[in-house]
Structure 1
Amino acid sequence: MKTQKRFVTILALMLATTGVFAQVDHLGPNVKFPEHPRILMLKGEEAAIKKNIDGDKTWNKLHLAIINESDNIIALEPIKRIQIGRRLLDKSREALRRLFMLSYAYRMTQQQKYLDRAEKEMLAISAFTDWNPTHFLDVAEMTMAVSIGYDWLFNGLSANSRATIREAILKKGIEPSLDSKYNSWLKAEHNWNQVCNAGMTYGAMAIYEDQPQLSKQIINRAIETIVLAMKDYGPDGAYPEGYGYWGYGTSFNVMFNSAIEKAFGKDFGLNSQPGFLKTAGFMENMTGSTGKPFNYSDAGSEGGLHPAMFWFANKIKDPSVLWVERQRLMNEDSKRHVRDRLLPAIMLWGGGMSIDKITPPKSTVWVAQGKNPVALMRTSWTDTNGIYVAMKGGSVSVNHAHMDVGSFIMDANGVRWAMDFGSQEYESLESRGIQLFGRTQDAQRWTVFRLTNLVHNTLTFNGQHQRVTGHAAITSSSNKPAFMNAVTDMSAVYQGSVAKSVRGVGIVDQKYVVVRDEVETLPSETTLRWTMLTPAEVKITGANTAELTKNGKKLLLKVQEPATVTMKTWSTDPPHDYDAPNPGTTLVGFEVKLPSNAKTAISVALIPEGNEKQTIAPIQPLEKWGGK
């Protein structure tokens, strides 16, 4: 009777979901699943990984790091259900890290200790009251974690353990995804869609033989709806949510695509979604010559290894997109990488690739349109002292966006001179009652110090915020070595403040950077504020110059026009007690009064040490920039 009642409940939920999303049978009526293990790495595929490990010292070092970390995990107590604010996510992520590593270690060594410890972890997680469906990312990652362990260790688990874990995957993972209270992510065009569909699909694949009808529906649903988020890669591969969330949304999208292809032998057209395979170029070019990322939107200031890049490199048959990953693998301590919960996947996707033979990309300029278009430029891939400049256009209304349209960052001589604060930890704000994810002009999000144009490397007019409506495209660009550059029209983002605002950023003769703004005012006097956030010490050296010093290196900031400005600095001490502190940073720039109905050009040169005596040519009008 209990089983029958459950079946009726599941059927009702399935029908409710199917009513919202027309179910297309992508898998077909005669779908066949491989036997366990069937997720990502089939039975016997360990041999290819072992061959790769034996033939490459870098791969061997990474493999041993995973094994050593698995040994460390054995000594840890199982995860407890301790929720922080509205999230259980840190526990779900740690579960995925532990179970992926332990399962990998067992499959590669067949040592019982790894299976026993993974079994203990899965039983503890299965005993949780729930996996926190009100914040469904928590459920998705927990389901993926337990599903990998269940599938990869299936033949070594006891019958009782299998039953307990299988029940948890069904009741605490998959079934809540059928409830409209929890599955709004099915309509999302951002990382929630990618992560949640991936997690539910792993659950469905894990328990398919016990729930064939439900599992098939879940997988079909995922294939049907994940494309909503994948459309955001079009047309050129720029991921709107930036560096940090590329590492989240895209990595889980790849986990999904890879598992689907492995199980069914085809990708159902997912890999051919516009811009998706091009996004490897986006991610590679987002890292500057200092090794730090262009961390616009809600992203951290430090970069990291991305296993998904190896999947892309194999798909597009271009190992050069792994140049940044190569540097991380060869030069960074492997212990840093074991904090990545998806790290074992790199061993599957990196097969046959010799790390030390990866060569740098040929192009030093990467430009892409999209919801948040970017222009990423550098003088060299191999010189850590080279110049790197990145600029973004886009929209304030994109998921996780800041008011940073027109903002840029700059590296030179091994120093990040123009920086971005990036994100503030969400719980530190939500615990103080801040409604963080509103997108309206008056949303409480825009009271957070780090998020507005006032502290980004862009313009502010009359002290006003950028508009949440409007979009700034990249209107022209050039990859010519003598003047790599890009231009974005920001006028729509400053609607009501000025009639026109267009910005260009470029690298001149591989020597220095120029930033030019062309502004047309409305029938009223306008105060323009030009700011650049820097971690350097700032010394005002003249009416139109400032000297920046960091790590014994120097950078000259020189305003070419207008002729009369007064350089100044602003404190980065935040105004609210809920704002994160910003030690060691300064805003440098200037303010200038613009007359009504006027056209004004603002040109700034950023000159690295060693090029101070360089003759700074007059900066041309933006209409003369561009040209391939």
Structure 2
Amino acid sequence: MYLFTTENNSNPLQATAAWLYHLHYFTRLMLLILTLVTGTGNGAFTQTFEGKPLASHPRILLLKGEEETIRKTIASDPAWEKLHQTLIAQCDRFIKEEPIQRIQIGRRLLDKSRELLRRVFYLAYAYRVSGEEKYMKRAEKEMLAVAGFSDWNPSHFLDVAEMTLGMAIGYDWLYQDLPQSSREIIKEAILKKGIEPSLDTRYSSWLKASHNWNQVCNAGMAYGALAIYEDEPQLAERIIKRSLESIQRPLQDYLPDGAYPEGYSYWAYGTSFQVLFISAIEKALGNTSGMPENAGFLKTAGYLQHMTGPSGECFNYSDSGLEGKLQPAMFWFAQKVKDPSLLWVERQRLATQEATLPTDNRLLPAVLLWGAGTQLKDIRPPKQQVWVGQGKNPVALMRTSWTDPAAIYVGLKAGSPAVNHGHMDVGSFVMEAQGVRWAMDFGMQSYESLESKGVRLWDGGQHSQRWQIFRYSNFTHNTLTVNDSLQRVNGYAAITTHGTQPSFLFATTDITALYADQLTKAQRGVAIVEQQYVLVQDEIETANDSCTIRWTMLTPAAVQKIEANKAYLVKDGKKLTIHVQKPAGVRLKTWRTYPPNSYDAPNPGTVIIGFEVKMPQKAKETLEVLLIPEGADTYVRKSENSLINWARK
């Protein structure tokens, strides 16, 4: 390079032109140097995070050119084509609807945040895969509407997190085609209404949590930071590094085996956002966190898979819904651990022609992002029929078949009521046979239906109002109740043993701590015997006082008849017999599920069946109950051994 000069230019006009040319050259050079030093600009090699190049937009989840893999996947299988067309059809419906409005329900704006994420994710996907401008224009309209909200409700920070994540995807994916004026408005909203409130200690307690709030909020903030990185590099790097550190906390909850403490529905929430976070970090920055190497986290796909029964319904303990749903995150896990059998349940949900794909799932496009290249026809059923996970809230899950819709399925819940979203359900179980859920769980009640009536839902103390909610106490779960008392909130039970022999699939748990000062021993075992029927066995020892032990099972079936120690249940034309083999002289009875409080949800079509046993002080008793599907009577054994001997079978 040489400095400009006019010495050799006798013509003043030529001299001026030369001077302007070199000034222009010099200015461009200085701007280039400034860009390299400060890390601003949009080039792939001018943006760095910890020395690693940061891609230009789009940089979140789906890089430039990766749409072609998705197009090839769609063309490879009718099930993938159906999913793609479902997404496109939903986008066409969005175009006809009014933009989202800021209508808060109680303490939450969350339904609006989730709808923004759903609309923008779908529309941005449709634009990138189809190229049709109408989808980009509609996503822009939605984002501008939300950018105009007064705030995104930081007092309930999940609302901010999901809104920010949706806005970040739209801003990043559509960046090159959005008008500059719209980019500025959306960027400013992400910064001021999304990221900056997370720096306020009034709204950031989730940084130290280990439950789903941590996963969702860190994902939302990281997406916002990645989206606007070039404009706020120092702040963005601070947010990303903060998230990388904080989000390690919930990863510990998956140890040692992958059982998610908060149950099925919150796995679908917390784990999905954890995967969104990891996937974005891997794509944009490279794997800087080491998170996917967490052994418990990588095992959690097995937990989720086994949590679904042959009926398609999930084991809905704690604050969970009953419906099993297509889980986009499972496609990420299958790719990550290179185990296509993890997608057996998801394959069935995708490939069933009669099934309606869940367009209420705001993360549905991620199925094609993480499942791209997967050949659905090549997926084989899992080999494992028993899955056991220890940890904060241990479970045991077992079945007789993955391919027979009439298979027997049992889920046994251990753990503690003290976990986030926990119920007093320790020792509870669900059971299916012949495609019918015979032993069920109510699952959650809508939070707003309780909060709006002043219920102190989130106080988890022993005497909290939470345990007066009909669906939440041990009285309505398939477990034991002693002297009409609640289980101990701080009690904990592990899965003590389990077995995988086809003739005797079983798991046991010691639930004594849930009945402290009442019982000196309370152990429960659940087994599938000879692939034909289910055995529930309890071994109990009383303390210094006499006790009344209540054994209960919640069912959606009709109780056709009770004959002393036998009851006959009917549902959907199928039959099940409940037979109490021990103790002798037991008489089965039923209890209504009519809610006792004005704030309780109704429970139509359900009944509790069970029995009571009175025990003197310092006594021992065994309760042995058989659940026998129609036609399995000839396989029933007279009695089983003590639980301590089950492992020796």
2:225 is aligned to 204
Q: How does 1:44-63 map to 2 (within 5 A)?
A: 44-63=65-84
Aligned residues: 602
Superposed CA offset, 1:29-82 (max 9, x none)? 424310000000001110111111111111111011111111111111000000
- Alpha-carbon distance in structure 1 between the residues aligned to 2:130 and 2:577: 56
1:10 is aligned to none
State the 1:616 CA deviation.
2.3
Out of 402, 409, 427, which is 1:388 matched to?
409
1:422 is aligned to 443
SS of 2:176 mapped into structure 1: helix
More moved, 49-58 vs 178-187: 49-58
State the 1:536 CA deviation.
0.2
- Alpha-carbon distance in structure 2 between the residues aligned to 1:513 and 1:585: 21
Q: Measured at CA, do residues 63 and 433 of structure 1 come closer, stay the same or move farther in structure 2, by a change above 3 Å?
A: same
- Alpha-carbon distance in structure 2 between the residues aligned to 1:261 and 1:502: 45
Out of 599, 613, 618, which is 2:620 matched to?
599
Superposed CA offset, 1:205-262 (max 9, x none)? 0000000000001110011010101110000000000000000000000000000001
What's the % identity of the aligned pairs?
60
Contact 2:124 2:136 in 1 (8 A): yes
State the 1:387 CA deviation.
0.2
Q: How does 1:127-146 map to 2 (within 5 A)?
A: 127-146=148-167
- Alpha-carbon distance in structure 1 between the residues aligned to 2:515 and 2:172: 53
1:150 is aligned to 171
1:164 is aligned to 185
- Alpha-carbon distance in structure 2 between the residues aligned to 1:394 and 1:29: 41
Residue 491 of structure 2 is aligned to residue 470 of structure 1: yes
- Alpha-carbon distance in structure 1 between the residues aligned to 2:572 and 2:589: 22
SS of 1:588 mapped into structure 2: strand
State the 1:336 CA deviation.
3.3
Superposed CA offset, 1:78-113 (max 9, x none)? 000000000000000011000000000000111110
Contact 2:350 2:357 in 1 (8 A): no
Contact 2:86 2:357 in 1 (8 A): no
State the 1:334 CA deviation.
6.0
- The code of the aligned residue for 1:57 comes to P
Residue 208 of structure 2 is aligned to residue 194 of structure 1: no
- Alpha-carbon distance in structure 2 between the residues aligned to 1:107 and 1:334: 26
Bigger radius of gyration: 2
Please tell me the root mean square deviation across aligned C-alpha atoms, in Å: 1.1
Residue 521 of structure 2 is aligned to residue 521 of structure 1: no
Q: Measured at CA, do residues 122 and 28 of structure 1 come closer, stay the same or move farther in structure 2, by a change above 3 Å?
A: closer
Residue 154 of structure 2 is aligned to residue 125 of structure 1: no
- Alpha-carbon distance in structure 2 between the residues aligned to 1:231 and 1:87: 28
Q: Measured at CA, do residues 332 and 287 of structure 1 come closer, stay the same or move farther in structure 2, by a change above 3 Å?
A: farther
2:96 is aligned to 75
Out of 279, 293, 304, which is 1:272 matched to?
293
1:555 is aligned to 576
Q: TM-score, normalised by structure 2?
A: 0.92
1:495 is aligned to 516
- Alpha-carbon distance in structure 2 between the residues aligned to 1:390 and 1:364: 12
Contact 2:49 2:285 in 1 (8 A): no
State the 1:124 CA deviation.
0.2
Residue 89 of structure 2 is aligned to residue 36 of structure 1: no
- The code of the aligned residue for 1:157 comes to L
2:390 is aligned to 369
State the 1:128 CA deviation.
0.2
Q: Measured at CA, do residues 381 and 211 of structure 1 come closer, stay the same or move farther in structure 2, by a change above 3 Å?
A: same
State the 1:444 CA deviation.
1.3
More moved, 194-203 vs 432-441: 432-441
Which consecutive unaligned segments of at least 5 residues does structure 1 have?
Answer: 1-26
- The code of the aligned residue for 1:117 comes to R
Q: Measured at CA, do residues 462 and 332 of structure 1 come closer, stay the same or move farther in structure 2, by a change above 3 Å?
A: farther
Residue 560 of structure 2 is aligned to residue 532 of structure 1: no
Residue 136 of structure 2 is aligned to residue 115 of structure 1: yes
State the 1:335 CA deviation.
4.2
- Alpha-carbon distance in structure 2 between the residues aligned to 1:334 and 1:561: 44
Q: Measured at CA, do residues 415 and 119 of structure 1 come closer, stay the same or move farther in structure 2, by a change above 3 Å?
A: same
SS of 1:409 mapped into structure 2: strand
Contact 1:413 1:553 in 2 (8 A): yes
State the 1:333 CA deviation.
5.0
Superposed CA offset, 1:317-373 (max 9, x none)? 101011110111111656432111001111110021111221100011101111111
Q: How does 1:163-182 map to 2 (within 5 A)?
A: 163-182=184-203
Q: How does 1:90-101 map to 2 (within 5 A)?
A: 90-101=111-122
Which consecutive unaligned segments of at least 5 residues does structure 2 have?
Answer: 1-47
2:321 is aligned to 300
Q: TM-score, normalised by structure 1?
A: 0.95
- Alpha-carbon distance in structure 2 between the residues aligned to 1:316 and 1:627: 33
- The code of the aligned residue for 1:467 comes to R
Contact 2:417 2:423 in 1 (8 A): yes
State the 1:436 CA deviation.
0.8
- Alpha-carbon distance in structure 2 between the residues aligned to 1:57 and 1:566: 55
- Alpha-carbon distance in structure 1 between the residues aligned to 2:517 and 2:323: 36
1:618 is aligned to 639
State the 1:613 CA deviation.
3.2
1:16 is aligned to none
Residue 466 of structure 2 is aligned to residue 442 of structure 1: no
Superposed CA offset, 1:264-295 (max 9, x none)? 12152101123000000000000011111000
State the 1:542 CA deviation.
1.5
SS of 1:276 mapped into structure 2: helix
- The code of the aligned residue for 2:211 comes to H
Contact 1:195 1:252 in 2 (8 A): yes
2:525 is aligned to 504
Contact 1:476 1:627 in 2 (8 A): no
